Amino acid sequence: MNTLIAVAACCVLFFGGLVCAQSADTQPQGDQPQDKPIKVMSFNIRWGGAADPPSVWSKRHERVLQTIKAYDPDILGVQEAVLFQAKELRDVLDTHIFFGAGRDNGKLGGEMCAIYYRRDRFRRIGGGHFWLSEEPDTPGSYGWGSSFPRMVSWLRLRDKQSGRALMIANTHFDHRSDEARLNSALLMRKKIPVLMEGQPVIILGDFNCTEDSKPYAELMKIDDEQQTPWLIDAYRAVHQERSEEEATYHGFRGKREGSRIDWVLHSPGFVTLNATIDTTHEGLKYPSDHFPVTAEVRWAD
């Protein structure tokens, strides 16, 4: 708990009170429909320090921002964002509040699984981070042969329009270790139900594995108590027939052949209304080496 408090304090100081701060929330103006659907986007925006020509941030940051703004998500989860990328998104997305921490030290160092939530719709009522390792409360910890520290950033939010609460989690699984990915899924199944506090959850992320994998099977496994799936794959709920062209990682080549490694998952407390793989590009120029994935959900009751 002390670690989470320290992270939150650091975020508030650095970003001038906009990061991790409930006080920045404002009430929506005018009449708003109750239980309005929630639009979410998960987007691996590619590490900002990459110097290979397609990856250079200064050459593509406008395409990233345009892609996000075109979908206009209520909640955005990004992966691989380092500090200057997270700050740029925060400055441009002034309709949203940023929450995140660096994977290297739980402060500002390293890539972030950052979350941006719409300030006129949601109020933060909880949040924190844990690491995908044998020591999940230790910032920067590695687990099970992982190439880098891997983490989950999570929030509990109150919807100002309906008064309902929900949890959002954003993650990025290791790209090399099968063992790390499987144990990361098992750890999430253990920790997230506790953090949910009875509220429904939406999980965003780059999982670096497909729906044929063991981590996916663990995340989708039937809940022993409820006898229902713990999570629902939003894309598969809408597109029930699997296609050969569902790749979300394309390496700046725009290829569609393959399977999804970027997912939007949610608990049965939500119903999926729509889900897409956003293939936005300008000729041969792409915002990132991943296509963002989106979903629109509503509460189940």
Report the pLDDT value the prediction gives residue 34, as an integer from 0 to 100.
61
Q: For residue 48, tell me if it sits in a domain.
A: yes
- Tell me which DSSP letter residue 289 carries: S
In a domain, 239, yes or no: yes
Express each pLDDT in 58-113 by its tens digit: 999 999 999 999 999 999 999 999 999 999 999 999 999 999 999 999 999 999 99
Per-residue pLDDT for 20 more than 50?
no
pTM of the model: 0.90
CB atoms under 10 Å from CB of 244, counted, come to 9
User: Is 16 contained in some domain?
Assistant: no
Considering the domain boundaries, does residue 200 fall inside one? yes
* pLDDT score, position 225: 75
| Percentage of the residues of the chain whose pLDDT score is greater than 90 | 85
AA identity, residue 295: A
Residue 275 sits in which domain range? 38-299
Helix (H, G, I), strand (E, B) or coil at 50: coil
| pLDDT above 70: residue 2 | no
Q: Is 203 a domain residue?
A: yes
Model confidence pLDDT, tens digit, residues 143-173: 999 999 999 999 999 999 899 999 999 999 9
The count of structural domains within the chain is 1
CA dist 128 and 291 (Å) reads 27
Angle (nearest 5°) at CA 215 between 289 and 82: 35
Q: Is residue 243 part of a domain?
A: yes
**In this structure, what CATH number is given to the domain that contains residue 59?**
3.60.10.10
Q: What is the pLDDT of residue 17?
A: 37
First CA to last CA across the chain, in angstroms? Answer: 33
Cβ count near 279 (within 10 Å)? 15
Please state, in angstroms and rounded to a whole number, the distance separating the CA atoms of residues 170 and 203. 6
Considering the domain boundaries, does residue 12 fall inside one?
Answer: no
| CA–CA distances in Å: residue 204 to residues 30, 197, 258, 285, 293 | 30, 19, 20, 25, 9
- Structural domain contains residue 30: no
* Torsion of the alpha carbons at 73, 78, 81 and 84, rounded to the nearest 10: 20
